[in-house]
A and B are shown apart, each in its own frame.
Chain A
Amino acid sequence: MIPYYLCFILFLVGLYGVITRRNLVKIAISLSIMEFSTFLIFALIGFREGGVAPIVDPADPVKLYVDPLPQALVLTAIVIGLATTAMLMAVIIRIYRKYGTFDIREIKNLRG
């Protein structure tokens, strides 16, 4: 159970960062940390006791592999996380050019 608790602590660290930080880039990095904790939980779910890595070697038959499906799902989700982070970074650079600051307390043009 220890690895699951550590993943939950990682998620809480990311959530603390999104809520309390003022710099835009730190908010983006904290969002990434939150997503990485989900990937770790996904990879941990597929674990079987006494299993080996799921690579088929025809010379040497093995009876028990760990579950390869969550690993494939995590690969897809990592690429999606990369796209989200890249999009966020592009918007942050544009905001710096228009507003002149990275501080989120200065960026409150829309109200009500």
Chain B
Amino acid sequence: MNPMIPLFVVIPLAGAFLIMILGRFIRNFNKYLASLILLFLVVVSFWSLFTTGSNVSVYKAGGWEAINSVPIGVYMVMDGFTAIVLCIINLIGFLSVFYSISYIARYTSENYFYALFCLMVAGMNGVVLSGDIFNIFVFLEISAISSYALVAFGVEKNELEATFKYQVLGGIASFLILMGIAFIYWEAKTLNIADIRNVFSSGYDRSYYLLIQILLLSGFGLKAAIIPFHAWLPDAHSSAPSPISAMLSGVLIKAVGIYVIIRLFFNMFAISEGMAILITTLGALSMVVGVFLAIGQWDIKRLLAYHSISQMGYVILSVGIGMMLISRGIRSEIAALAIAGGIFHLINHAAFKGLLFLNAGAIEYSTGTRNLQEMGGLAKSMPATSATSLVASLSISGIPPFNGFFSKLIIIVAAIMARFYFLAFLAVIVSIITLASFMKFQRYAFYNKAEGDNKQKIKEVPFPMLFSMIVLGIICLLLSLLVFPGIREMILTPATDILMDPSRYSSQITGI
């Protein structure tokens, strides 16, 4: 049993409460402790990524061993896919905390900010590491409640209205997930994911199974902001403070939305063709509707939030193509390619969307406005921000040699090889419209003629914000190396294997 696994949850949790206790007495203690905790977690998660490989490590909390090969304890599971998502969460978390050292200084009560941030990271780590479905629900609620408080942090009118909408829809999502868990328990009499798979693979009632799948897809789809469940996302992500927007859009909708959908539908349920067609349709709709709603926006952060919906549609689309091929039982190497493309796009989107939101925060910090029609000519007065913003815009539009090009290429090639020509055509069209939208963003913000009077007061942002943006820009370039065969074997292939072969997942957990 790997003793590193509970540290991912325990250390941020203890750190959050330590910040609350000692932050009143020692000045600046909260910033340094939060940064140190997250730096330590980044190191541990990268170490786990390079040593996990293709084995599945299981940690039984409390030491409760399985009786007659029926698991009765609470299991925490780490495999290839989990290690990738852990790295994303902790790395973007560390860069956001470092960015917020100078951004949050203008709010009062910074203590609460760092404590809630550590709680949110602890909750997300718990979701990706848990091995049974009720633990997923508990950690999901921990991170969701922390994010409700963080969205409303600097209590303005817009933020309060946005967090009210977010909370009501998030509450409905939690209710749907709890109903799904209740119906699973009624049928399977167990809560462990691997054990539920063993029960479901021998006979089940077809319409009851469909009800459970629809309930869980709706609940986690509300958390992941897929069309038609996207109504809370533009308000919440645009009204939050910028490092929180980067965390929400870059990590939260992936770790508690897309990750759980992929894990449950591949490793727990047996894939049926109707559900695969439904998921592919939802992905294609998200892609198209998201980008058409994003073109007409003049507020920077609302534009970026609508683009998040569209890019999540790419991931769901490629995962859906993989599911359709598996359910028909043909061409499994194309299914592996599609799933690998989806996971790669997940990693890339975390990097460039986080960078774009941090850039929008830097622009707002210097100029005090978020409306594209009121700013201009920032390329001369903010050179580092402008350069990293150019890198991120080219990545999201899919221009070589940045990382967005490679992941979108893999998705489109997989769609063509599986003979879904219409979906590949839609993906190319959406990519072109994304390019147009970001060229508009670049032109109005950075390269236009400056608007008169406040041109001379704008200067570059302080060092912590610059450091985070430059590091993310370098990561955007480095991630394009993941497509080469040597590195891909080490990182992406274990994740794809464990998803495509669910009997190995369940036998390695319940057999131990």
A and B touch in the complex (CB under 8 A): yes
B30 — which chain A residues lie within 8 A by C-beta? none
Q: Mark B126-141, 1 if CB is under 8 A from A, else 0.
A: 0000000010011001
Assess whether B262 is interfacial by the CB under 8 Å rule. Answer: no
CB distance from B241 to the nearest CB of A (A): 16
Count, chain B residues at interface, CB 8 A: 33
Whether B182 lies near A24 (C-beta < 8 A) is no
Whether B160 lies near A35 (C-beta < 8 A) is no
Assess whether B145 is interfacial by the CB under 8 Å rule. Answer: yes
Shortest Cβ distance from A41 into B: residue: B182
Tell me, in angstroms, the Cα distance from A107 to B164 when the chains sit together. Answer: 10
State which of B89-97, B172-180, B319-327, B437-445 sits at the interface with chain A: B172-180
State which of B149-157, B220-228, B335-343, B412-420 sits at the interface with chain A: B149-157
Assess whether A110 is interfacial by the CB under 8 Å rule. Answer: yes
Of B149, B175, B185, which contacts A87 at CB under 8 A? B149
Whether B179 lies near A91 (C-beta < 8 A) is no
Whether A109 lies near B161 (C-beta < 8 A) is yes
A65 — which chain B residues lie within 8 A by C-beta? none
Name the interface residues of A90-112: CB closer than 8 Å to any CB of B.
91-92, 94-95, 98-99, 107-110, 112
Shortest Cβ distance from A84 into B: residue: B171
Assess whether B163 is interfacial by the CB under 8 Å rule. Answer: yes
B162 — which chain A residues lie within 8 A by C-beta? 110
Tell me, in angstroms, the Cα distance from A72 to B149 when the chains sit together. Answer: 27
Count, chain A residues at interface, CB 8 A: 31
Of A73, A83, A95, A108, which contacts B160 at CB under 8 A? A95
Name the interface residues of B42-89: CB closer than 8 Å to any CB of A.
none
Shortest Cβ distance from B157 into A: residue: A98
Q: Are A95 and B175 also in contact (CB < 8 A) when A38-B182, A45-B182, A87-B148 are?
A: no
Tell me, in angstroms, the Cα distance from A18 to B158 when the chains sit together. Answer: 21
CB distance from A3 to the nearest CB of B (A): 14
B152 — which chain A residues lie within 8 A by C-beta? 91, 94
B161 — which chain A residues lie within 8 A by C-beta? 95, 107-110
Whether B185 lies near A38 (C-beta < 8 A) is no
A80 — which chain B residues lie within 8 A by C-beta? 138, 141, 174
B164 — which chain A residues lie within 8 A by C-beta? 24, 88, 91-92, 95, 107
B174 — which chain A residues lie within 8 A by C-beta? 35, 80, 84
Whether B148 lies near A27 (C-beta < 8 A) is no
Of A18, A35, A99, A108, which contacts B168 at CB under 8 A? A18
Tell me, in angstroms, the Cα distance from A108 to B297 when the chains sit together. Answer: 18
Whether A42 lies near B168 (C-beta < 8 A) is no
Shortest Cβ distance from B141 into A: residue: A80
B186 — which chain A residues lie within 8 A by C-beta? 45
Q: Mark A66-94, 1 if CB is under 8 A from B, else 0.
A: 00011001001100100110011001101
CB distance from B135 to the nearest CB of A (A): 10
Whether B171 lies near A35 (C-beta < 8 A) is yes
A91 — which chain B residues lie within 8 A by C-beta? 148, 152, 160, 163-164, 167
Whether B172 lies near A83 (C-beta < 8 A) is no
Shortest Cβ distance from B298 into A: residue: A112
Assess whether B235 is interfacial by the CB under 8 Å rule. Answer: yes
Assess whether B197 is interfacial by the CB under 8 Å rule. Answer: no
Assess whether B239 is interfacial by the CB under 8 Å rule. Answer: yes
Beyond the given pairs A38-B175, A88-B164, 14 more chain A to chain B contacts, judged by CB atoms under 8 angstroms and listed by A's residue number, are A24-B164, A38-B182, A84-B167, A84-B174, A87-B148, A87-B149, A88-B167, A91-B164, A95-B160, A98-B157, A107-B164, A109-B157, A109-B158, A110-B161
Assess whether B302 is interfacial by the CB under 8 Å rule. Answer: yes
Of the A-B pairs whose beta carbons lie under 8 Å apart in the complex, a sample of 18, sorted by A's number, is A31-B168, A31-B171, A35-B174, A35-B178, A45-B182, A45-B185, A45-B186, A69-B185, A69-B191, A73-B134, A77-B178, A84-B174, A94-B152, A94-B160, A95-B160, A98-B155, A98-B157, A110-B239
